[in-house]
Amino acid sequence: MNLEVRHVHKAFRSRWGDTLALRDMSFSVPSGEFLCLLGPSGCGKSTALALLAGLEMPDRGQVLQDGVPVTGPGSDRVVIFQEAALFPWLNVMDNAAFGLEAAGLGRKERQARAMEQLRLVGLERFGKASVHELSGGMKQRAALARALAINPQVLLMDEPFAALDAQTRDRLHGELQDIWLRTRKPIIFVTHNVREALVLGDRILLMSARPGTIKRQYTFDLPRPRAMEEHRLVDAAREILTDLRVETEKEQEELYAQLAD
């Protein structure tokens, strides 16, 4: 599956008036790619992801899936947010199986597919556990299992590990890379963390300060799992941080100007 954002503009109304979130933004995501969208806070990363998911519509331009305009959400494009958003009244197994009933699967088949995905994310022993018994990292694994169970064509991930501690985040980076290598589903991963983007991405798109557009892209053909000690990643991190710092300063200047008004 190929996704394409073509010359997209998107604005939102705020107390300061209409705010242009994205301006003439264009990029494509070929099948099987792990793409990271990186940029300062408020640059429109999550807005771009919402457009790909069909949760928002562009004011101008197009979002295309295999050449066909995206007109709304679909089960072929699943979003995983920073909050796992599991159903607290369901156990882990039933959370993972949620959505399969609408696909017409019987209970046994739903449970079999859910268990297959729980095994993939390392939660096969926790199928009967309640959501409140899970750690933050386990909740995100359960959310990933639920997303994978419906067999989407693409995963859209909006800073899913941002609220986790560094050790848990590093472990999930490794597990997500392993899942991607097994499934080869395209992943679009939103982050403001340079280290995270370098560890995960085949390609990183650096977004400008608001209104967001693609400022620069970085491509990495490095073996996995990756270690930040790799000298090529260290050099790349230095370069990306310099570019990101420029955009962050622009964002701060714009915020100060708005407050002054």
**The pLDDT value given to residue 251:** 67
**The pLDDT value given to residue 76:** 92
What is the Cα–Cα distance from 187 to 199, expressed in whole angstroms?
14
Question: Taking the chain, what is the end-to-end CA distance rounded to the nearest angstrom?
Answer: 46
The partner residues of 10 in beta bridges, in order of sequence, read 22
Residue 136 pLDDT exceeds 70: yes
Q: Are 192 and 38 in contact (CB under 8 A)?
A: yes
- Strands in the chain per DSSP E: 3-14, 17-29, 34-38, 60-65, 68-69, 77-80, 154-158, 187-191, 203-207, 214-219
**The pLDDT value given to residue 101:** 78
Chosen CATH of 3-76+154-260 out of 1.10.357.10, 3.40.50.300, 3.30.420.40, 3.20.20.80 = 3.40.50.300
What is the Cα–Cα distance from 41 to 157, expressed in whole angstroms?
16
pLDDT for 156-198, tens place per residue?
999 999 989 888 888 899 889 999 998 899 999 999 999 999 9
DSSP structure class, residue 208: P
**The pLDDT value given to residue 261:** 60
Q: Which tokens in the block code for residue 47?
A: 């807005």
Q: Which tokens in the block code for residue 204?
A: 């990183």
Full-model pTM: 0.91
DSSP letters spanning 215-256: EEEEE----SS--TTSHHHHHHHHHHHHHHHHHHHHHHHHHH
DSSP structure class, residue 57: -
- 102 band by pLDDT with thresholds 50, 70 and 90: confident
Q: Which tokens in the block code for residue 244?
A: 């990101």
Q: Are 202 and 189 in contact (CB under 8 A)?
A: no
Q: Are 43 and 210 in contact (CB under 8 A)?
A: yes
Q: What are phi and psi of 40, to 5 degrees?
A: -70, 160
Name the packing angle between helices 136-149 and 166-183 (round to 10°). 20
Residue 229 pLDDT exceeds 80: no
pLDDT for 37-87, tens place per residue?
999 888 999 999 999 999 999 999 999 999 999 999 998 999 999 888 899
Q: Are 6 and 63 in contact (CB under 8 A)?
A: yes
- 260 band by pLDDT with thresholds 50, 70 and 90: low
Q: Are 207 and 214 in contact (CB under 8 A)?
A: yes
Residue ranges of the domains in the chain?
Answer: 3-76+154-260, 87-151
pLDDT for 106-122, tens place per residue?
888 999 999 999 999 99
| CA torsion, ordered 103, 108, 114, 118, to nearest 10 deg | 180
Q: Which tokens in the block code for residue 143?
A: 């959310």
